[in-house]
Each structure stands twice: as C-alpha cells, then as structure tokens.
Amino acid sequence: MAFQTPDWVKHAVFYQIFPDRFARTQQHLNDPAMAVTLEPWESPPTPFGYKGGDLWGVAEKLDYLADLGVTAIYMTPIFQSACNHRYHTHDYYQVDPLLGGNPAFFDLLEAAHAKDIKVVLDGVFNHCSRGFFFFNDILENGPNSPWLEWFEVGGWPLSAYDGSQPANYRSWIDNRALPAFKHDHPAVREYLMRVGEYWVRQGIDGWRLDVPFEIKTEGFWQEFRDRIKAINPEAYIVGEVWTDASQWLDGTQFDGVMNYMFTGPTMAFTAGDRIRMDLVEKPHYYPYPALDAAGYGENIQQLLALYPWEIQLTQLNLLSSHDVARIYSVVNGDDASMVLSTLLLLTFPGAPSIYYGDEVGLPGELDPDCRRTFPPEKEWHLDLLTVHRELIALRHRHPALRIGTYDVLHAEGQVYGFSRTLGSDRILVFLNAGEGSAPAIATDTLISEGQTVHEVFSYHGATWNQNSLTLPSRSAVVVTVE
C-alpha cells in the first residue's frame, strides 16, 4: 500500500514539554483572578500539587529552544483539567486557565510558528474526567441524564469518589477518576472527531494520541486520520504504543508511535549494568538486560524491519518521557551513558524527541519525580548541553542523518558502528560502550580509495586515523566521507 507521512517530521527535532513544570511567566501572576496557591517552583513535585508553569512561559523559552535546534514541540495535555498532568480532561475546547487559557495558547502557537517551530498536542480521547460536563451531568441527574449513553453505566448509585463502594461505570484501568467513553456510540465518536478537527483548524501541527490501543471501535482511527488529513495532509498523528505497533502503522491510521522499542535496547547497550533496575522494572520498555554490540545491532535490525521505511522516518524516538524515569537517573548519573545514548538517538531514522531538561542533565525517578521543574541555569550540566547542541546541529546539517539509509558496519564486543547514506552524503558513526579501549579497527574496508574523511564529532578521545579507528573506553566518533 502506498502512503505518505508528513515530510516535516522526517527532518524535525522534537522537545517534549510537561507544561506545569517547564516555565512560569509573570504575566498571569499580575492577574488578581489567578492569585492562586502554588507549590514552590524548586520543591520536589507531588502527585497533586501545581507548580504554575504556563504557556506564556513556554513562549518566553522559544529562543532557548531554537538555539538548541528544536523544530517541534510536543506538549502533554493542556486542556482544562483538575490535575497537574491534565490527562483528566474537563473541556476539550478550553485550555486550562492555570496555563493561561486559550489566549496564552494562541500566543504561543503564533510565536512558535514565527520561529518555524511546529506544535503537537496530546489527545486524550479514550477517557475524560469526572468533571467533564457530560459525565458530571450523570453524577447530578443519575438515570435521567441525557448523556447516559455516552458512558457504560452498570448500576446505581454511581460512586465517583467513595473507594469503598463499586464505581458502577467503566473507567480506564479501573481508575474511577477517568470514565471511559463509549466509542461505539455515534454521538461520542462524532464529538471526538470534531475535537480533533477543531484544533487542527486552529493551526496545531498534529496530535499525540494517549493510549490509543484502548479504543477498540472498528474504523475509529482510520476515520480520525481521514478527517485530520483532509484539513491538513501534513498533520502528524503519533500514537502512544510501547510495543510492536504494526496493526496501527499500516498507513491508514498513525504516522508513527512513541518508539520505546528504540529506547530500551539503546540504554541497555550504552549503560549496560549501570541501569538502576528499581527505576525500570515497572514501566515495560526493557532497558535491560545489558546488551553487547551484536545484541544491540540485532535489536535495531529487527526494529527497522518491523515497519515500512516511510513509517520509520516518522517514528518519535525518545530516551525519557513523563511516563518513565529520566535517563540521567536510570543510568545512575553516568555522563558517558547519557552522551552515547544521545548520539544514537540523534543519528537514528525517525524524529528524535528530547524530554525537557534531559539536555541539561535533569534527574528524575519514577512519577511524579520524572516531572520535576526545569532547573535554574546554575544547576545545568553544561557539557551535556553542548553535546546536545552539537549533535542536533550535525543532524540538521546532514540529510543523510535524517532520511538516509541505515547500515550496520561493525558489531563486535562493545563496539558498534553504522553508516547513514543519502547520495553523496555519507556519515559513519562508531562508539565503544565498553570500559576498556577497543582494538584498533582498520578503516580501509569502510571507505573507498580516494575518499576523504572529516571528523565532525568526537567524545572521550576517539579518533579516525589515516588507516585505523581508535576508540578509547566509553568513546565515540562521527565522520563524514567525501
């Protein structure tokens, strides 16, 4: 089947933002109506407290993001909600007032687009919240509510808050705070389709879809794609699917998924036994057991064979997110593991996504700790920030790193090497994830006679000599071949 995914995504560098924790402006603090109690910005995050990050604050950070090389923002939910993560949607047409409401969002959207930065929103279409008007009407009016058929109610009285009583309605993972929609109902389906269409018409550049595998209604995601693409054929539709997503990546539904199948093996190879098992055994993305180069290469080859190339180029690749512990904590603060993982992320097919703060070494354990506030500059790991800037700039300079072929050249011991090639643009990437220096690698089989090699990135003293490649402990090198 021939199909097209959005071209801009193939060249994008994403930055994931948890809005309550990224940046707090002073604008709304001057509004007496928003004089609310917030947690101290620098205090540890809690499950229920608000830090007061907002969308004007994001807009004020756009220069920082542009300087980093970011070309797209994905934000976790921004719609009105009664929780700091906003996956409990109250109103799909209103941006949360703590974030600045619709005016702040439209200001941000305009400012981002002025800097050629795309904006992708989080669509929570499987479930809503107890405060969602249609469900709240049921709580108020019981079996007399006109919205009764929008949800699966199993008995009366509903117990929306008393955990000692049965909830008597279907909810996501039996969490009574998240009533699940009845997607087979035509009105529900139409309502959610119109929400998706509305925000694309307002100018957003795509949707990240929360737990889309929970929606079993036949044809739902096919219709969603058709209706979104009819408004903007270049809108990005990316699903939160952690495992093999083949059934959703057939060209009729999503353009890509959050590629945790890249995340796990990459960290298992670069960090090995440095992985903190207490942080990774619950979320199922498996950055363990430790992999050698051959094992990593096998995982990557299997992943690249799983989906059509057109889909591979629009996967959303990541090392951290709001759902898992941050990579800097997972690798136990080991800078080399962080750098080597970041190198593999930014040289892999698909769109790399950086979770806010990872680029400056922000730690964070399991939720809610992985949702810390963005740190002040005095706490930044500047060496990590420099590496991110260099590798993002390298990706932007070389089309081969974005849409070129990916070929494994070497996978022995702890040394892994591959090429990215697009016409005359050829990049070679080699890294040694091991503790000891790797045996010198002859380079004559890697390049043709008369070709010139230019070193464009080196870490921990790795060098491409005239006839051999030297890779000290925990090092990497990237070269261009002309």
Catalytic residues: 210, 240
From residue 9, alpha-carbon distances to 242, 264, 266, 345 in Å are 20, 22, 22, 15
CA atoms of 387 and 360, how far apart (whole Å): 10
Give the residues across from 151 on adjacent strands. 181
CA atoms of 188 and 177, how far apart (whole Å): 19
CA atoms of 378 and 361, how far apart (whole Å): 12
DSSP state of 198: H
DSSP state of 258: B
Peptide bond into 289 cis (omega under 30): yes
Q: What is the phi/psi pair of residue 313, to 5°? A: -75, -10
CA atoms of 177 and 174, how far apart (whole Å): 9
Number of other CB atoms surrounding residue 285 within 10 Å:
21
* 349 burial type by CB count under 10 A (0-12 exposed, 13-18 middle, 19+ buried): buried
From residue 92, alpha-carbon distances to 81, 122, 131, 134, 207 in Å are 9, 11, 12, 12, 13
Give the residues across from 238 on adjacent strands. 208, 256
Q: What is the phi/psi pair of residue 118, to 5°? A: -80, 160
CA atoms of 197 and 209, how far apart (whole Å): 14
Please answer whether residues 325 and 358 qualify as being in contact, where contact means their C-beta atoms are separated by less than 8 angstroms: no
**C-alpha closest to that of 406 among 315, 285, 270:** 315
E strand residue ranges, 245-320: 256-257, 316-318
CA atoms of 104 and 29, how far apart (whole Å): 13
Please answer whether residues 291 and 268 qualify as being in contact, where contact means their C-beta atoms are separated by less than 8 angstroms: yes
Exposure string of 132-163, with b = 16+ CB inside 10 Å and e = fewer, is: bebbbbbbeeeeebebbebbbbeeeebebeee
The amino acid sitting at 333 is G
Rg (CA), the chain: 23
Structure-block tokens of residue 101? 């409401």
Pairing of the two strands 79-81 and 89-95? antiparallel
